[in-house]
Amino acid sequence: MAAGDTQIGLWSVLADGYAAEILAGCGYDWLLLDAEHGPNDLRSVLAQLQGIAAAGSLLGDRANDLSQAVVRLPQGDTALIKQYLEIGVQNLLVPMVNTAEQAAELVRAVRYPPRGVRGMGSGLGRSSRWGRLTDYVQAADDDICLVVQIETGQAVANLDKIAATEGVDGVLFGPADLAADLGYRDQRTHAEVTRTIRQGIETARRAGTPSGIMLTDVAAAHDWLSSGITFAGVGVDSSLLIRAADDLLGQFRATGPRTTGAASSY
């Protein structure tokens, strides 16, 4: 990402280790495990990290195709960040970061003293393989990727300072929340929203910080990638499952899938 290479990701809200193992081998650059809007907690994310790791062992010569796990936290809480880092999360996405001060606190949360405030407990956790990685503490600060979400007008106004915060590795624009905050709820493609994001991409570029976006419109994703976005979430596992299941059923029922009524028997 730091090199400016295009990174294509998939959002996962199914909160299941088996599903994560399946998706991890598809070839997406990253797989986002959503603990903000998905029914995830520390234990379910752990199971998904283990599933992704297992997928790598099964890919053999194709192990380079394994998706990198990214976890979106419900909020940027220092204690919560510590817990997720200890189960082996290396890539964090934090929602609703509105100021440079918030961004700086998040950077401190993912780093050990004296550069940060992360607690010295990795020897008890999966992060250091329970102490087997004896150089973990020395290397950990540089092995964590921190991406913050820009989802409000306030965040856009402060973006120059947020993007320039040392330790912020990327900014991701959230079109839905940004549109709502700007007064265009359910109009994420409104001209004002688009203009604001385009300006934000340029602001982040001047700071030398990569920009990302999440959306499920393929044509729009290509457009944003050509406009300076370097990492994009282009789909959601639950939506893909629903669409494929609905499309299959539609081939057998002329009226399409039923949406009401009791479940039918075989």
Question: Where do the domains of the chain lie?
Answer: 7-237
By CB atoms closer than 10 A (0-12, 13-18, 19+), residue 93 is buried
pLDDT score at 63: 60
- Find the distance separating the first CA and the last CA of the chain, reported in whole Å: 49
pLDDT of 1 reads: 87
Calculate the alpha carbon distances from 51 to 45, 67, 163 in Å. Answer: 10, 11, 33
DSSP summary character for residue 93: E
Out of 4, 37, 113, 157, which one is annotated catalytic?
Answer: 37
* Residue 171: both structure tokens together: 């900014």
d(CA 183, CA 42): 34
Give pLDDT tens digits for 207-238: 999 999 999 999 999 999 999 999 999 999 99
**Which residue is listed with tokens 């856009």?**
156
- CA dist., res. 16 & res. 79, Å (int): 24
CATH superfamily of 7-237: Phosphoenolpyruvate-binding domains (3.20.20.60)
For the record, the structure tokens of 62 come out as 């194709």
CA gyration radius for the chain?
20
- The pLDDT value recorded for residue 2 is 84
Backbone angles phi, psi at 180, to 5 degrees: -65, -45
Nearest to 58 by CA among 26, 34, 33: 26
Give the Cα separation of 165 and 173 in Å (integer).
Answer: 17
Which residues of the chain fall below pLDDT 50?
Answer: 262-266
User: Is 222 one of the annotated active-site residues of the chain?
Assistant: no
